[in-house]
Structure 1
């Protein structure tokens, strides 16, 4: 299996970090989509959408402007949670290839943007296809390997993801490459290596957006692995660079909640969700409110989460992994199982394994959940939520096995009843 060589940010030869052999895991961010697979925000004009639109008013068939507009819409949708922008991106990107010659830089740019759009909509097979076409047109185009890595990670192709990231690092050891390398290392359990890769990303960050992005992921890594104070410092450092950034503000709110500064956390969540009503942020807001005993406030956030999922689906951006986990914790476990099984049929990754395991457990089927929980953690993934899911499932499955054995020893006169347990594990309010 391949190893990942993470080059130091100024290194030209010789200085490498050799990672352990590849296993599996994933961020979403998100949770598969809690946060999108790691990539860097590109350096761009203050308003790349306006710039592209202005160019298209002058030259309606400018392929380069159409490709830039499509990519900018995808990025804006990621930041704001406005799923309607995906349709606009698609219309621009559908036109761009026909207006550019085969193998031209503009065609490659359009294909990479199309891959990013497909990945954002969680159509990872289409994302992989567009990325491969871009690479076939230009084998030296580093961003195409980033789009390929994102798709491969979510499709469960760990080897393919690592190889794509390595190629990206070899071509251009940029912020985008190092942040993806960090995620790849984290998925296989090398958290120290993930931190090192993010440090090197920050060393090579020059634009405001790049610095803020690195600070965001440093904060996410610190918070998920037990350092909320360090996470808060990273988020606030990012906000000094990019005041008002919704992802950094949501991270700050989560870190404040983890530190027990609940009132501050709820106030921050209230502000950030007013401008960026993203399902992930609303879920965290509701969970923090729930822990604070604010049941009415929590229910309102969970209602808004369901509405956001409906809007996303109407725009073709289905996220059944995030929806399954949300339904398992805060909605209908049967619906959670249906969603998780549907996504599992499309892609076999650690994300879908964890989501299906948790949905089955919450539906009272711990025995059926156990193989998926084992799969989710077998490659080294150490995300605390995923480990907590696995621990709860193993405990419940052991109890059920004991009950079944007792019933058998009693001559089979008493049925073991339905397998599993519907008890909450206590992790539903965790840092997800």
Structure 2
């Protein structure tokens, strides 16, 4: 029974019928149409460049185009500090999206440090990027140090406060995280700020406020990849609240908008397993893990196999888990 219950402890109970429930009793019905009245979409490389500079998600294909463009740029102009910083941020986002952190996180660090070498003073672009990289590696003291250096270099640069929120949260200093959020909201507004606010509300136990902020962020997103990311986070929050069907709808819509959103595919696997749809759950997990070999997905798939009595299949996933953890450690991840 213990083998079965260990996985089932992850499967919270709950359901909600109809549209996605938001804070305050509002509803957001998911349809096949994007937000009305959007401006024309920019070229992929330009769109991804704007996204990584603002710390918002970008589509993998757009990221690849941005990387190619910036690699060509720095080869021709090796002292272009801004291009090196954008390239480093793009490598970091690629690493997050693909789980190839052993290769891409060190490349991101080299690019960001090259940017600092090219412009040692007042280079908030590179300092911001190094703070984001340290947060991704879960090195929160380093993230705080880089973030504070970026803040001193450019006190009104709003993206820095997003990195400080993550660093303070990682260090367990929620009071300072809230102060950083207050500064962020005073400097900027928009979907990414609402999503950051949702994270702070979530940590404070203000689940309805977090849900409403994420719904607002998804509704105002400027690209399908960004909208999918905020919907995926909304699915995680619905899952934590025990709303299995609601979580599944969030994850499904996120995958529809961005088929490369592997976190949402793994979320589908989690919700489907909780709903007893194990064949579909296994398929969702396998797809997510094949395209984004994350230790978390390997662990959850292994536990699902174990709960189904498939001990050998579970051991394969646990062996993979150990390998993936070693690879992430090689990329500097704690």
- TM-score by structure 1 length? 0.62
2:180 corresponds to which residue? 164
More helix by share: 2
Structure 2: any 5+ residue segments left out of the alignment?
Answer: 1-23, 25-54
1:188 corresponds to which residue? 204
2:158 corresponds to which residue? 142
Secondary structure at 1:277's aligned position in 2? Answer: coil
- Count of paired positions: 278
Contact 2:229 2:261 survives alignment (8 Å): no
Deviations 1:371-400 (A, max 9, x none): xxxxxxxxxxxxxxxxxxxxxxxxxxxxxx
Q: How does 1:221-236 map to 2 (within 5 A)?
A: 221-236=237-252
**1:43 CA displacement:** 8.3
Secondary structure at 1:96's aligned position in 2? Answer: helix
Instruction: Identify which of structures 1 and 2 has the higher relative contact order when contacts are C-alpha pairs closer than 8 Å and 6+ apart.
Output: 2
Alignment equivalent of 2:253, drawn from 225, 237, 251: 237
**1:270 CA displacement:** 1.2
Q: Distance in 1 between matches of 2:94 and 2:249?
A: 26
2:4 corresponds to which residue? none
Alignment equivalent of 1:91, drawn from 89, 110, 125: 110
2:289 corresponds to which residue? 273
1:62 aligns with 2:80: yes
Contact 1:148 1:161 survives alignment (8 Å): yes
Q: Distance in 1 between matches of 2:283 and 2:180?
A: 41
2:171 corresponds to which residue? 155
Q: How does 1:291-370 map to 2 (within 5 A)?
A: 291-318=307-334
1:82 corresponds to which residue? 100
Deviations 1:216-262 (A, max 9, x none): 01111111211111111111111121123211111111111111101
Large movers: runs of 4+ above 3 Å: 42-46
Alignment equivalent of 2:213, drawn from 197, 218, 234: 197
Deviations 1:334-362 (A, max 9, x none): xxxxxxxxxxxxxxxxxxxxxxxxxxxxx
Q: Distance in 2 between matches of 1:203 and 1:315?
A: 35
1:285 corresponds to which residue? 301
**1:100 CA displacement:** 2.2
- TM-score by structure 2 length? 0.79
Contact 2:218 2:228 survives alignment (8 Å): no
1:426 corresponds to which residue? none
Q: Distance in 2 between matches of 1:43 and 1:249?
A: 15
Contact 2:232 2:251 survives alignment (8 Å): yes
Q: Distance in 1 between matches of 2:331 and 2:192?
A: 27
Say if 1:173 and 1:43 are closer, same or farther in 2 by CA, change over 3 A: farther
Contact 2:124 2:153 survives alignment (8 Å): yes
Contact 1:145 1:168 survives alignment (8 Å): yes
**1:57 CA displacement:** 2.2
